[in-house]
Amino acid sequence: MRQMTITEARINFLSLPEVVENEPLTIAKRGKPVMVTMGYEQYESLVETLDILSDQAFSLSLAKSIQQVKDGKIRSSADVRKRLGI
């Protein structure tokens, strides 16, 4: 992740949207990270991901599905369509 000082961020404020277009930017004060800025699309994606993962039932189902894949318990799309009569 790219890093910039608060002073640099202030000086380059109007160009920050282009800077954070592809990756977040850490802003540091006296050498220590104090904030992160990111593009709006990244922010929306992050919020949506957090919302989904905060759903306990969904998270448990996802974890179970991941374990099934690791255990080799998978079906082809053709098999699924056949079982569903599609």
Q: What is the four-CA torsion angle of 64, 68, 69, 70, rounded to 10 degrees?
A: 100
Can you tell me the distance from the alpha carbon of 40 to that of 21, in angstroms, rounded to the nearest whole number?
Answer: 9
pTM here is 0.63
Domains of the chain, by residue range, sit at: 2-38, 41-74
pLDDT of amino acid 1: 85
List the alpha helices (DSSP H) in 25-85: 40-53, 56-70, 77-84
pLDDT of amino acid 47: 96
Can you tell me the distance from the alpha carbon of 38 to that of 1, in angstroms, rounded to the nearest whole number?
Answer: 11
pLDDT of amino acid 14: 96
Residue by residue, pLDDT tens for the chain (86 residues) are: 899 999 999 999 999 999 999 999 999 999 999 999 999 999 999 999 999 889 999 989 999 999 999 999 988 899 889 989 98
CA-closest candidate to residue 9, choices 29, 45, 78: 29
pLDDT of amino acid 75: 87
